[in-house]
Amino acid sequence: MLAVKRNASPGKPLTLRFEGEYADTRTGEVRRVVMSHTLVCEGVAALPQLTIDQPETVWYYPLRADSNELTVNAELKIGDTEVDAANRIFVWERLRDTGAWTEVGSTLADYDITVSADGTQAKVRLDLMGQRLDLRVRARYDAYGNPSGVALNAGSPSAAFSAIRRLMPGRVTVTGPGRILPSMRYVEYEAHMSDGKGIIPDAGSLFAFSWYTAKGMADGSVTYGSPVATGQKARIPVSAFSSDFGGKVQVGVSDLGWLKALTVDGAYLTVDGKILVVK
């Protein structure tokens, strides 16, 4: 058996030609064999393909993000031809904590995603989405103009992507006096965060700064206690240091996290129909 695989266009004939030689051991003759067969593809059902204009993974870096909003556009095509709007309906879904995909807008928790009226576009607020968002779009398609009557299933045209928040503190330096004068009652310090691109502006909106002090000991050792101040700027009383051996200042940095919706007894707190969010 000879198996041949070849793409064919509907209605256009495809001719298979076989040539071979056969050696007749009885007579010593070499016989040439030529055979041909014509195939015609009667028709093929072209399948629609759904695509989005974002990669499978989108990394969100709050420190240097040009925008906190991500726009995702969906498109359904058959070959190179876009499917008419009357023949398709886009359905956007997100992966829930339960592991199930459900439609965007089915709960108030979807305040971080806005879907356009025609369904072709979704806008994601990256600063509201949390640590990760898994979003997909599927299409109801009907060639005869009745997409609403088509049920979504595992074979429906679909496209998906994941948006992941990634935040790591930069290098922190502290500025402030290195000596405490007798006239001082407080000492003021300021923390600065920088990365490979320079000083990070407004780092206090993304990170929590906690200040610690340790009194100097005669043997040179120090032990840090509880935080004495918070914020990028600290005003620390001189009593936090030893009058004989001085002390040290240390600043700790932690991620403030993303904006989260306020809830009361498990219900979202709203004002004029809008959900309140805080860090």
Q: CA-to-CA distance for 251 and 64, rounded, in angstroms? A: 23
Lookup: tokens for 221: 């050792």
Entry field: residues in the chain: 279
pLDDT of residue 9: 65
Q: CA-to-CA distance for 62 and 64, rounded, in angstroms? A: 6
Q: Write phi, then psi, for 80 (nearest 5 degrees).
A: -100, 5
With a cut of 90, say whether residue 195 has pLDDT above it: no
Q: CA-to-CA distance for 119 and 114, rounded, in angstroms? A: 10
Percent of the chain with pLDDT over 90: 53
Residue-wise pLDDT for 19-64, tens only, equals 777 676 776 676 777 778 787 766 556 789 999 999 999 999 998 8
**Domain locations in the chain?**
8-44, 49-165, 171-255
Mean pLDDT, all residues of the chain: 88
Residue-wise pLDDT for 138-168, tens only, equals 999 999 999 999 999 999 999 999 999 998 8
The pTM (predicted TM-score) of the whole model is: 0.73
Lookup: tokens for 255: 């991620």
- Beta-carbon neighbour count of residue 80 at 10 Å? 5
Burial 213-231 (b: 16+ CB within 10 A, else e): bbbbeeeeebeeeeebbee
**How much is the average pLDDT of 124-148?**
96
Domains 49-165 and 171-255 share a fold: yes
Indicate the fold that domain 49-165 takes in CATH: Immunoglobulin-like (2.60.40)
With a cut of 60, say whether residue 103 has pLDDT above it: yes
Indicate the fold that domain 171-255 takes in CATH: Immunoglobulin-like (2.60.40)
Q: Which residue is it, tokens 């439609």? A: 103
